[in-house]
């Protein structure tokens, strides 16, 4: 009996997008159940004194990341392009994360997350824009009716804060992270390790 895997991701994170694109097929192949857990890296980075993505704070590492992402996406057949405008990264992922938590129990909750990632890392639309989020909701749900970005209230704000506190309590420091019981696996390059661990657990 395989253990479930908690897939912790930030919509602003490039490598989270790669994992979001890969995890379903890899998990299905191993009979592993995945729980999608949106959270924000910003407060975790801020606690270390970082005011921006480490890929912007360290330009040499940032240049490498875009090249690495492009190569890895090609290797895995995942649509992706680096931004033409460097200021487009990272996007503010607060709204997307709150909405993802609001709709997480819908049968199309994961489809919404995929729409957000594609809008961001393929089309480079601004996922902080409520109109972009509403378009993602509509595509995932197949209808314009229902929850919209304008419906965010205290419940979703509290839920996202609680997610962030749980992430810190579990010892997470980056995204994507995969949690199986007490075991943490960090980075898209640990996706297979995490799922293998869950499958044998």
Residue with tokens 């694109």: 21
Work out which of 61, 81, 157, 200 binds a second copy, going by CB under 8 A: 61
> Given the complex with a second copy, which of 120 and 188 has the nearer CB atom?
188
Work out which of 58, 70, 143, 158 binds a second copy, going by CB under 8 A: 58
Residue 199: exposed, middle, or buried by beta-carbon count in 10 A (0-12, 13-18, 19+)? middle
Among the candidate windows 79-87, 140-148, 155-163, 184-192, which touches a second copy by CB under 8 A? Answer: 184-192
How far apart are CB 173 and a second copy at their closest, in Å?
Answer: 5
Work out which of 5, 100, 184, 198 binds a second copy, going by CB under 8 A: 184
> Given the complex with a second copy, which of 71 and 157 has the nearer CB atom?
71
Residues numbered 31 to 50 that lie near a second copy (CB under 8 A) are 48
Q: Which residues of 187-196 are buried (b: 16+ CB within 10 A; e: fewer)?
A: bbebbeebbe
Q: Tell me, rounded to whole angstroms, the distance of Cα 94 from its chain centroid.
A: 11
**Coil/strand/helix, residue 159:** helix
Helix, strand counts (H, E) of the chain:
9, 4
**Coil/strand/helix, residue 42:** helix
Among the candidate windows 53-61, 97-105, 106-114, 135-143, which touches a second copy by CB under 8 A? Answer: 53-61
Q: Does 189 bind a second copy (CB under 8 A)?
A: yes
> Given the complex with a second copy, which of 68 and 106 has the nearer CB atom?
68
Residue 144: exposed, middle, or buried by beta-carbon count in 10 A (0-12, 13-18, 19+)? exposed
Q: Which residues of 117-139 are buried (b: 16+ CB within 10 A; e: fewer)?
A: bbbbbeebbebbeeebbbbbbbb
Please give the Cα distance from 33 to 37 (Å, whole number): 13
Residues numbered 86 to 145 that lie near a second copy (CB under 8 A) are none
> Given the complex with a second copy, which of 154 and 182 has the nearer CB atom?
182
Angle at 51 between CA 45 and CA 53, to 5 degrees: 65
Work out which of 26, 190, 199, 201 binds a second copy, going by CB under 8 A: 190
Work out which of 4, 30, 66, 68 binds a second copy, going by CB under 8 A: 68
Contacting positions for a second copy (CB under 8 A): 48, 58, 60-61, 63-64, 67-68, 71-72, 75, 171, 173-174, 183-187, 189-190, 193
């Amino acid at each position: 009996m395989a253990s479930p895997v908690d897939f912790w991701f930030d919509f602003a994170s490039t490598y989270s997008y790669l994992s979001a694109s890969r995890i379903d097929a890899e998990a299905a192949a191993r009979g592993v159940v995945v729980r999608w857990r949106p959270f924000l890296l910003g407060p975790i980075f801020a606690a270390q004194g970082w005011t921006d993505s480490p890929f912007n704070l360290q330009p040499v590492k940032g240049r490498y990341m875009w090249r690495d992402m492009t190569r890895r996406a090609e290797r895995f057949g995942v649509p992706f392009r680096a931004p033409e405008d460097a200021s487009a990264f990272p996007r503010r992922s607060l709204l997307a994360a709150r909405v993802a938590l609001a709709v997480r129990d819908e049968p199309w909750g994961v489809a919404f997350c995929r729409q957000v990632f594609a809008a961001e890392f393929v089309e480079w639309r601004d996922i902080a824009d409520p109109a972009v989020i509403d378009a993602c909701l509509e595509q995932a749900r197949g209808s314009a009716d229902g929850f919209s970005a304008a419906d965010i209230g205290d419940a979703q704000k509290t839920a996202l804060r609680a997610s962030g506190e749980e992430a810190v309590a579990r010892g997470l420091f980056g995204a994507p992270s995969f949690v199986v019981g007490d075991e943490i696996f960090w980075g898209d390059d640990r996706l297979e390790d995490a799922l293998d661990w869950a499958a044998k657990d």
